[in-house]
Chains A and B, each alone.
Chain A
Amino acid sequence: MNILITGLITGSMLALLAISFSLIFGVARIVNIAHTAFYMVAAYCIFSLTGKFGLNPVAGMMIAVVVVTVFGLLAYKFLIDPIREHEAAVLIATIALAMIFQEAVMLIYTGDYRTVSALIEGYFIVMGVKVFYQQMLTFGVVLAVLGILWVLLMKTKLGLAIRSTAEDREVANLMGMNDSRLAMITMGISVALAGFTGAVLAPLTVLSPYMWMEPLIIMMAVVVLGGLGSIKGSFVAAYILGFTEALVVFMIPKGAFLKGSVALTIMILVLLLRPEGLFGISFEEER
């Protein structure tokens, strides 16, 4: 039961992060290392909004998501967009960005571990295991957001534009889609989702300036495992890796050290059998 709950929570968090990460990768070919740094910034935003200014947690969450989105758009406009042709430079720019966020958080909040109070207190007991209402709430909200995202991508004009640009940028451009504006919008959506993940997850985890590193690795493993650019793949892979982590932590002694290793080993094994990931389509080689 413990495994089930932890797996579900970790899986949903990874699903949100991985899908938003592969969105911006698909549309603009940006490997955004700073993605989970935005998630961290959102969590800290909530911490100071609810803790210091005594705001209502729901309002705090809203503001945090907006703040993070603005940060993301500014970073995209002034730091990433000017050097977009140089892939290596974009990569380093996002790494540097993540480091800047980490250091800024370190300066403002120091390196101490922080916690955020839950939206709903209390728990109920199922088969001898405590299930916190907060956990159920997080899970439900994540599923709802995933649903909204699916509708956005599959049923609206914007979603169509995003999907077609991800598939073939040049042709999409020829069909009259504004490539750079679309990249900007996608960056906004992607960062907002990262911020949202941070917001709903903040009450369940411990905040520290280094909290972006670990989810980053696993998130990338999820993206690769599911197939780059495949939303269904990211979704399935996120739950696979989420449950694996939970299993390893609860079943093997000293499992906490090994959870990353096991998840990544699974990823490598799958890649050996299917180099394009579980649901990825192998693209024609770009020349």
Chain B
Amino acid sequence: MVAAGLYLRRFYTIVRGEVLVLPSRIIVALFFIILLGLPLISQNPYLIRVVILTSIFAILAASWDLLSGFTGQMNFGHALFFGVGAYTSALLNIHLQIPPWGSVPLGALAAVLTGLIVGIPCLRLKHTYLALTTMAFPIILMGIVFALPDFTGGELGISGLKRISNSLVGNYYIYVVTMLVLCTVMWKITDSHTGIIFHAIREDELAVKASGINTTRYKLMAFCLSGFFAGIAGGLYAHYMRIAGPSTLEVSMSFTVVIWAVFGGIATIYGPIAAVFILFPFLEFVRFWPEYRMMIFAVVVLLILLYMPEGLIPWVRDKIEKQCPRCKIRNVATRNTCRICTAVLD
């Protein structure tokens, strides 16, 4: 009892000293608590469905950010990884009867391979060339899918996949926990040594090369990592919708991912996730106005970008927090002195 009390007290101190001091950390903590506690409050199937889909797309948007936001390799064909993940796990599930816990990781592996296949030729290209070339790959794959209707189901796709879990709440927890874990992993990656190199490649590739770092290897690694996470998202999507169709490869899919990520703020990981959690439910919310739905979506995105070209989340973060000029630690915007080094904030 005494030991437990001690731990509890330590936990409380950590929460007070590290989490409650910054509004952004409070928001992240609240986000975790609300997502994990949601089924206890409401078990509305529609709500649960929206949150599950949002989680899947949050993984996808964050994985785009990992590749394009961090290393600056603009990928306009992110649907390729998503589609490969979805189709591979669907084919494995239908033809080889592999259960979802096996087919989703295998789908992700297939997406990693695709990342390698796409990455090796594309790394010779730069900037706009790269963006426009990557856009071509999902369309090529889509042509193949349509040309082989016996194997891939053509326009109708592959349907009748197994659910991951048959209970509503069980399904919810599997998806949400996967999303939280994967996104934390991605955030950790970008915070690590590798993440710093990714940042540096975007800012000045020549300087990174001059420091003796093999940038090609790191760029390829970014392609594979991003492909892995997007592939998992694709597999999860296929098993949730119980169908893998050509819509997962569409150009609009690639574009939507880019919209989410840029709207939220690139090179942040949390930005795209927040953007998906804002925009996707918003899109569902305006569903009662079906004919104006996409119009409103586009107008909102356009207006927000006009005033916050850096993205929504970095803008909000700059408003509620400021950086200490001396020790570079973030503080609440209401403070006058830094919470660590007591330097005066401006």
Contact = CB atoms under 8 A, between A and B. Distances in A.
Given A213-B251, A267-B133, A287 B206 contact: yes
Interface in A83-106: 83, 85-86, 88-89, 91-93, 95-97, 99-100, 102-104, 106
A268 interface: yes
Interface stretch (A121-129, A152-160, A194-202, A252-260): A252-260
Interface stretch (A4-12, A39-47, A170-178, A218-226): A218-226
A217 interface: yes
B291 A106 contact: yes
A79 interface: yes
B132 A220 contact: yes
A224 B133 contact: yes
B121 A268 contact: yes
Interface string A156-187: 00000000000000000000000000000000
A25 interface: yes
A272 B295 contact: no
Contacts of A88: 74, 262, 266
A271 interface: yes
Contacts of B298: 96-97, 99-100, 103
A228 B129 contact: yes
A272 B143 contact: no
A251 interface: no
Contact of B144 (A79, A107, A261): A261
Given A258-B147, A271-B125, A223 B136 contact: no
A16 B259 CA distance: 28
Interface string B161-176: 0000000000000000
B259 A217 contact: no
Interface string B69-83: 000001000000000
Contacts of A221: 132, 136
B302 interface: yes
B106 interface: no
Interface stretch (B15-23, B183-191, B230-238, B303-311): B303-311
Given A93-B302, A257-B143, 5 more contacts: A93-B306, A96-B302, A99-B297, A103-B292, A271-B125
What 5 pairs between A and B have smallest CB-CB spacing? Answer: A261-B143, A257-B146, A264-B136, A103-B295, A86-B309
Interface of A: 25, 31, 33, 79, 82-83, 85-86, 88-89, 91-93, 95-97, 99-100, 102-104, 106-107, 213, 216-217, 220-221, 223-224, 228, 254, 257-262, 264-265, 267-268, 271-272, 275-277, 285, 287
Interface of B: 74, 121, 124-126, 128-129, 131-133, 135-137, 139-144, 146-147, 204, 206, 251-252, 255, 258-259, 262-263, 266, 291-292, 294-295, 297-299, 301-302, 305-306, 309-310
